[in-house]
C-alpha cells in the first residue's frame, strides 16, 4: 500500500458517537415511576433521577460536585504574585551583574563608580519604584542591560496577555515592528468599538478589521458582537484578578505597567479598550474578586485565564443546578464541561440530556388536561408489566404453590371455533383463520398464491369451556396512616400490577379502582399512580362500598369480586346530604352503616377479601368479623408482599380454586 493512501484513525470528535447504541431508558423510567408513586410529580421525579444518576452513571449532582472541587483546586493551588516575582528576579539579576561589572572595571573613574554603587545600593524596596528609577540608568554591563530590558518585555507581554490570550508567547522576543503592529491593532480596535457604541459601524468595518488583524484573534469571531463578547469576558476576568490581589500587589503592578515595552501609548490604548468594553458589556462581572490560597504563582495572563476558568465553572454550576425558570439540560455547555472536567463529563451530561429529551419526546411523559406532566399510557403499561413480573416471582416462590399460568386461558378447548371478538384471549384456530383469508381473497378476485393479508374478520379462536367473567373492585385506603406507615407506594404498585394483569391477560373482566379516605372516589390507574399522599384523616369504607355496589350493578352478568386494602377501622361515613362524618375512635353509627353496606354486597354473592396491613390486634379482630359476615377472607400480608397477595386472591376468585397454598400466608 502506498504511504499516501494510508488512513489514520482517531477518536470521533464531531458530536455524539454515531455508532453508539441508543440510550437505555429502562432504568430512568423505573426510577421516575417509583418516585411518582411516592408522591412526586413526574417533572420532579425526572429531575431527581437526572440529579442522582443511575447505577453506573453519574448524575447532575456528581458533575456539580466535580465542578466545585475543580474550583477549590484552582483557588487552593495558585497565588497571584507570579509576574511580580519574575520582575523581582530579573531586577536582582540586573543589579548583581551591574555590581560585578563595576568591580571589574579598573578604568572607571572612582567617583563615577562610587556614585553608581550608591545608586544601586539605595534603590527603593518597592520593585516598581526600583524599576522606574533605573529607567534612565546607563548600564555598564550588557548582561545587566539585557535583564532590565527583559523586564519591560515581560511586562508588555503580560499586560497584553491579560486582554488577548496567547500574547505572552506570541510576542516573545518581539521586535519594534511587532510592537508597532500591536499598537496599530489596538488603535483600529478602539475605533471599531467606538463606531459600534455609536451605532455607526457596518459589517464591512468588521470584515476589514479581521482581514487586517485576524492573527491576533485565534477565537475567529464571526461578528463584532462575538468579538466584543470574547474581549469583554477576558477583560472582566483581568479586572477581577487585579481586585483579587492585595492592595500592595495591585499598586506595584499599576506602577510597573508604565514600563510595558517602554511604550506609554500601549497602556493608553489598553485603558481606552477597557472603557469601551465596560460600556458595551456592563453585565459582565467587573467588580468581583476571588481568594487564592495556594503556593503556585501566576502571571497576569495565566491568572486572567484562571479567573476565566472560575467564571466558567460558576456558569456550569448554575447550569447543572437546573434551578432557574425554564431550565433544561440543553442549556449545558458541553464544550465548557469538557474543558473543565474532561471529555467523560461531557459524555455523561450529553447522555443525561438525551434521557431527558427521550422521556419527553418518546411518549413516556405527556401533559395532562391540567397542564402538568404525567406518566403516559406507554409508561404505565411498561411499569405494570414489570410489577406483574415481580409479583409472579413472589407467587411462584411461595412454598407449596402450584405453577399458575396467567395467560388468560379460558379453559379446556371444545374442538369448535368461533369468530374473534375484541377482548378474546383464547388461542387462534390457525387453520380456520387461514382458510377464511383464502376464501376472502378468491372472492375478491385475488390470487392466494401471491400472498395473503389477514383481516380481523378472518380470525377465529378456539372455543373453550365457559369461564365466569368478573367485575372486580379494588378498594384502597388512602388515609394519612397509609402514607405515614410507608404503605403508600406498595399500595400503588399493587393496583398497577392488578390493572395490568386484567387489562392485558383477562380483558373480559372489568376492573374499578376506588380510593377511600375522608371521602371515596373512583379513579383511573394514571390518577392513582400520580396521587400524592394525603394529610387528611379519615377511613370512609362506607362510601367506598357504596361506589363498589354501584359498579357491580352496572355489570349484573359478571361475578362481583371485592378486594379491600386497609390499615385502619372505619372512622368516617357518608351522610344523607353528601357530607361526611368523621370521629375517632370509630363512631357506632359509622360501624353500623358500613356493615349494612357490606351485608348488601354479601347478599349479592360478592366474593370479598380484606387485606389487613399492620399488626393492630383490634383491627385484626374487626376485619376478621367483617370477612366472616359475608363468607369472605382476611389476608394479612407484609407490606412488600401486598401485590402478590392481591393478585393471588384475584386469580383464586377468578378460577374458583385454591392453588396458592393459603396456609403459608392467610391468617
Model's pTM, two decimal places?
Answer: 0.65
Q: Given the C-alpha cell 358500613, which residue does it identify?
A: 594
Q: Given the C-alpha cell 437546573, which residue does it identify?
A: 322
pLDDT value of position 267: 84
* Digit-coded pLDDT (tens) for 97-139: 999 998 888 677 888 888 999 999 999 999 989 998 998 899 9
Tell me if 210 sits within 8 A of 201, measured CB to CB.
no
Correct CATH for 470-664 of 3.30.70.330, 3.40.50.410, 3.40.50.1000, 1.10.3210.10:
3.40.50.410
Cell of 69: 472541587
H-state helical runs in 105-174:
110-121, 127-133, 142-163, 167-170
pLDDT value of position 466: 46
The partner residues of 250 in beta bridges, in order of sequence, read none
Residue 658 neighbours by CB under 8 Å, 6+ apart = 652
> Which residues of the chain fall short of a pLDDT of 70?
1-24, 39-40, 106, 262, 362-363, 366-374, 376-379, 384, 386-388, 390-416, 422-426, 463-468, 535, 654-667
Residue 414: what are its φ and ψ, rounded to 5°? -95, -15
Domain boundaries, the chain: 81-291, 411-466, 470-664
pLDDT value of position 262: 67
pLDDT value of position 374: 67
DSSP per residue, 220-271: --SSHHHHHHHHHHHHHHHHHHHHHS-HHHHHHHHHHGGGGGG-HHHHHHHH
Give just the sign of the alpha carbon dihedral 488, 493, 494, 498.
Answer: positive
Provide the b/e sequence for 434-448 (b: ≥16 CB within 10 Å).
Answer: bebbeebbeeeeeee
H-state helical runs in 322-457:
334-341, 343-361, 377-397, 430-443
Expressed in percent and rounded to 5, the helix, strand and coil fractions of the chain are: 60, 10, 30
* Digit-coded pLDDT (tens) for 50-63: 888 887 889 999 99
331-333-339 Cα angle (round to 5): 165
Amino acid at each position: 500500500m502506498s504511504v499516501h493512501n494510508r488512513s489514520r484513525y482517531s477518536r470521533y470528535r464531531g458530536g455524539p458517537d454515531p455508532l453508539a447504541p441508543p440510550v437505555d431508558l429502562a432504568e430512568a423510567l423505573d426510577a421516575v415511576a417509583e418516585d411518582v408513586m411516592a408522591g412526586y410529580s413526574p417533572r420532579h421525579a425526572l429531575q431527581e433521577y437526572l440529579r442522582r444518576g443511575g447505577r453506573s452513571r453519574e448524575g447532575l449532582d456528581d458533575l456539580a460536585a466535580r465542578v466545585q472541587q475543580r474550583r477549590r483546586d484552582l483557588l487552593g493551588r495558585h497565588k497571584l504574585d507570579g509576574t511580580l516575582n519574575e520582575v523581582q528576579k530579573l531586577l536582582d539579576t540586573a543589579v548583581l551583574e551591574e555590581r560585578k561589572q563595576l568591580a571589574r572595571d579598573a578604568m572607571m573613574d572612582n567617583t563615577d563608580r562610587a556614585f553608581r554603587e550608591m545608586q544601586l545600593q539605595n534603590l527603593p524596596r518597592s520593585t516598581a519604584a526600583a524599576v522606574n528609577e533605573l529607567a534612565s540608568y546607563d548600564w555598564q554591563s550588557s548582561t545587566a542591560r539585557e535583564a532590565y530590558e527583559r523586564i519591560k518585555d515581560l511586562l508588555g507581554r503580560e499586560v497584553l496577555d491579560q486582554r488577548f490570550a496567547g500574547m505572552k508567547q506570541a510576542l516573545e522576543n518581539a521586535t519594534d515592528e511587532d510592537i508597532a503592529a500591536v499598537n496599530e491593532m489596538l488603535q483600529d480596535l478602539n475605533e471599531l468599538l467606538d463606531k459600534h457604541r455609536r451605532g455607526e459601524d457596518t459589517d464591512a468595518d468588521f470584515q476589514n478589521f479581521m482581514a487586517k488583524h485576524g492573527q491576533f484573534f485565534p477565537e475567529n469571531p464571526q461578528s463584532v458582537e462575538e468579538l466584543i463578547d470574547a474581549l469583554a469576558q477576558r477583560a472582566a476576568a483581568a479586572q477581577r484578578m487585579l481586585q483579587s490581589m492585595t492592595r500592595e500587589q495591585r499598586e506595584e503592578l499599576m506602577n510597573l505597567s508604565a514600563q510595558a515595552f517602554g511604550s506609554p501609548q500601549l497602556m493608553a490604548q489598553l485603558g481606552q479598550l477597557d472603557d469601551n468594553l465596560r460600556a458595551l458589556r456592563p453585565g459582565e462581572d467587573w467588580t468581583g474578586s476571588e481568594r487564592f490560597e495556594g503556593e503556585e504563582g501566576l502571571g497576569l495572563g495565566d491568572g486572567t485565564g484562571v479567573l476565566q476558568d472560575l467564571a466558567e465553572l460558576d456558569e456550569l454550576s448554575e447550569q447543572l443546578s437546573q434551578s432557574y425558570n425554564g431550565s433544561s439540560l440543553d442549556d449545558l455547555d458541553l464544550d465548557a464541561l469538557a474543558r473543565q472536567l474532561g471529555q467523560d463529563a461531557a459524555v455523561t451530561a450529553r447522555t443525561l440530556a438525551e434521557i431527558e429529551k427521550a422521556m419527553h419526546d418518546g411518549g413516556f411523559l405527556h401533559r395532562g388536561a391540567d397542564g402538568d406532566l404525567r406518566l403516559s399510557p406507554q409508561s404505565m403499561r411498561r411499569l405494570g408489566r414489570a410489577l406483574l413480573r415481580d409479583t409472579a416471582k413472589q407467587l411462584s416462590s411461595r412454598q407449596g404453590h402450584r405453577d399458575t399460568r396467567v395467560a388468560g386461558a379460558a379453559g379446556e378447548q371444545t374442538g369448535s371455533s368461533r369468530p374473534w371478538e375484541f377482548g378474546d384471549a383464547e388461542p387462534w384456530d390457525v387453520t380456520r383463520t387461514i382458510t377464511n383469508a383464502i376464501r376472502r381473497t378468491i372472492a375478491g378476485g385475488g390470487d392466494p398464491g401471491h400472498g395473503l393479508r389477514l383481516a380481523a374478520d378472518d380470525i377465529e379462536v378456539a372455543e373453550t369451556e365457559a369461564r365466569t367473567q368478573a367485575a372486580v373492585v379494588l378498594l384502597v385506603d388512602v388515609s394519612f396512616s397509609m402514607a405515614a406507615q410507608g404503605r403508600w407506594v406498595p399500595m400503588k404498585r399493587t393496583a398497577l400490577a392488578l390493572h395490568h394483569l386484567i387489562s392485558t391477560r383477562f380483558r373480559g373482566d372489568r376492573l374499578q379502582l376506588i380510593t377511600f379516605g375522608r371521602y371515596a372516589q373512583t379513579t383511573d390507574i394514571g390518577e392513582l399512580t400520580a396521587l400524592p399522599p394525603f394529610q387528611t384523616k379519615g377511613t370512609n369504607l362506607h362510601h367506598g362500598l357504596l361506589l363498589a355496589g354501584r359498579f357491580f350493578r352496572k355489570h349484573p352478568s359478571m361475578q362481583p369480586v371485592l378486594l379491600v386494602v386497609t390499615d385502619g377501622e372505619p372512622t368516617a361515613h357518608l351522610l344523607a346530604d353528601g357530607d361526611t362524618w368523621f370521629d375517632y375512635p370509630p363512631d357506632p353509627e359509622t360501624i353500623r352503616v358500613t356493615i349494612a353496606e357490606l351485608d348488601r354486597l354479601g347478599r349479592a354473592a360478592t366474593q370479598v377479601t380484606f387485606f389487613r396491613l399492620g399488626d393492630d390486634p383490634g383491627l385484626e379482630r374487626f376485619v376478621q368479623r367483617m370477612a366472616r359476615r359475608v363468607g369472605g377472607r382476611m389476608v394479612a400480608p407484609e407490606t412488600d408482599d401486598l401485590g402478590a397477595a392481591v393478585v393471588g386472591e384475584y386469580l383464586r376468585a377468578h378460577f374458583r380454586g385454591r392453588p396458592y397454598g393459603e396456609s403459608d400466608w392467610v391468617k
